[in-house]
Amino acid sequence: MKNHIRLLVVLLLILSIPVMAQKDDSTYISSPVDQGNLVNNGDFENYTGKLSKPGKFYLVDYWDVLTSGRADLFEAGNALKSIGIPENIYGEQEAYSGQRYAGINAFSYDPKNVRSYLFTELNASLQKGQLYCVKYVVNLADRSRFAIANLGAYFSDSKLDNDGGGNVFFEAQINNEFQKVLKNTLKWDAVCNVLTATGKEKYLVIGNLDTDSKTIKEKIIASESMDLSQVQMAYYYIDYVSVKPVDRFSDCNCSAQKERGPDIIYSKENSVDESAGDKEVIDNSTIYFGFLKKEMNSSARSDLDRLAAIMEKDESYRVKITGHADSEEAIEYGGSEEVKEFSRERAFAALDYLSDKGIEKNRFDVYGLGDTSRASSGNTPLSKAKNRRVEFELIVE
């Protein structure tokens, strides 16, 4: 009877998992950006059809493109690498929210490279005199030859009809603050401001709405580590579009830093049998950490106490210690070498603890891999918690 109950629980869990791969039908996924937001599907999580190649942003529910310029939808777990997340045809970037983000060409000198714009109808017209916090996050794709400042938002009272034509030009009501050039390829930047509504705002367009001569632009020098050539455009990833009513200007949080929920430290199951050999015990002594933390909790210290006892018993043992980080920590540190050093410091925290237990430091080899070797490829808080870890491996000589 117990086995039947376990089987039923497993089946219910499987059926409750959202579909994250390519899909043929529309599946609605609720997200934090929906709460109080007048933009439907503001993080592009829901689409209808088969996402099988670039240029299919038009599949996104409630959204469309305004010109003949191609807009893209990227998706974590997609079988086609060119539209994947984090790696895709234009570079590498984790999603800001959920499993998907959009991509547009915002500038090019080549007239054949028509700009692309994201276009949607709000779920209600804005109320005259009401303040609204308008916000979306952008990231310059690694392969971009140019970066620009002009990624604005324009509201209209009627549906815009460009009939798939060329670039469009409007007086944006929301502009990038101080018109700084948006050239960050590592972190997401917020384009954000407060709009006082006239009551005629029903439709929203996002993109470069200025002429070439008015576009503030900068050439980007290609990174020496980049394998592919640059594309002759300013290509931007876009995510997390929101239009929300606020009472005061100060209520509009224009930081790209997401509000974090409670910190999660992954708790593993003790899967090592009491009769297991020393190597199996050591290799399964992985410890886990909170976000941006190097301090160990009581569970981690208990695992290290057991490891220290084994090494004290056999002084010939040498152990490899490897620290890891999650994708958000990598973004916080702003570079691969920086986050590798941070993960190495996690490993050294474990080393220092073992040293305090009387185990000589020269019996360990210490490494830090940053977020390059993930225990979980998911984008949920629990998946990321699994990646914030330090692993141990008995060195067999």
pLDDT for 224: 77
Query: Do 331 and 303 meet the contact criterion of CB atoms below 8 Å apart?
Result: no
**Given a cut of 70, is residue 162 above it in pLDDT?**
no
Token code pair at residue 103: 């991509």
Q: What is the mean pLDDT of the chain?
A: 88
What percent of the chain stands above pLDDT 90? 70
- Indicate the range of 143-152, 165-174, 316-325 predicted with least confidence: 165-174
10 Å CB burial of residue 246 (0-12, 13-18, 19+) is middle
Which of 223-232, 264-273, 362-371 tops mean pLDDT? 362-371
Contacts for 257 with CB less than 8 Å, ≥ 6 apart: none
| Dihedral angle sign, alpha carbons of residues 161, 166, 171, 176 | positive
pLDDT for 270: 64
CATH architecture of 27-251: Sandwich (2.60)
Token code pair at residue 45: 């999580």
- Smallest CA-to-CA distance from 195 within 154, 160, 157 is with 154
CATH 2.60.120.260 residue spans of the chain: 27-251
Rounded to an integer, what distance in angstroms lies between the CA atom of residue 62 and that of residue 322? 45
pLDDT for 344: 97
**Residue range 200-240, pLDDT digits in tens:** 999 999 999 999 999 999 999 988 777 889 999 999 999 99
Token code pair at residue 120: 């949607």
The helix/strand/coil state of 385 is: helix
Mean per-residue pLDDT for 144-167? 89
The helix/strand/coil state of 146 is: strand
Rounded to an integer, what distance in angstroms lies between the CA atom of residue 373 and that of residue 280? 21
Rounded to an integer, what distance in angstroms lies between the CA atom of residue 350 and that of residue 366? 10
Instruction: Tell me the CATH number for domain 278-394.
Output: 3.30.1330.60
- Residue 379: how many CA atoms within 13 Å on its side-chain side? 16
Mean per-residue pLDDT for 172-199? 91
- Indicate the range of 58-72, 326-340, 367-381 predicted with least confidence: 326-340
- Residue with more model confidence, 25 or 41: 41
Q: What letters, b where the CB count within 10 A reaches 16 and e where it falls short, cover 184-210?
A: ebbbbbbbbbbbebeeebbbbbbbbbb
- Indicate the range of 6-10, 64-68, 89-93, 94-98 predicted with least confidence: 6-10
pLDDT for 258: 62
CATH 3.30.1330.60 residue spans of the chain: 278-394
- Residue with more model confidence, 277 or 162: 277
**Given a cut of 90, is residue 170 above it in pLDDT?**
yes
**Residue range 20-34, pLDDT digits in tens:** 333 344 444 545 566
**Residue range 67-96, pLDDT digits in tens:** 888 899 999 999 999 999 999 999 999 999
**Residue range 283-335, pLDDT digits in tens:** 999 999 999 999 999 999 999 999 999 999 999 999 999 999 998 888 777 66
User: If you ran DSSP here, which 8-state letter would residue 47 be given?
Assistant: B
Q: What letters, b where the CB count within 10 A reaches 16 and e where it falls short, cover 160-173?
A: eeeeeeebbebebb
**Confidence tier at 18 by pLDDT (50, 70, 90):** very low
**Given a cut of 50, is residue 11 above it in pLDDT?**
no
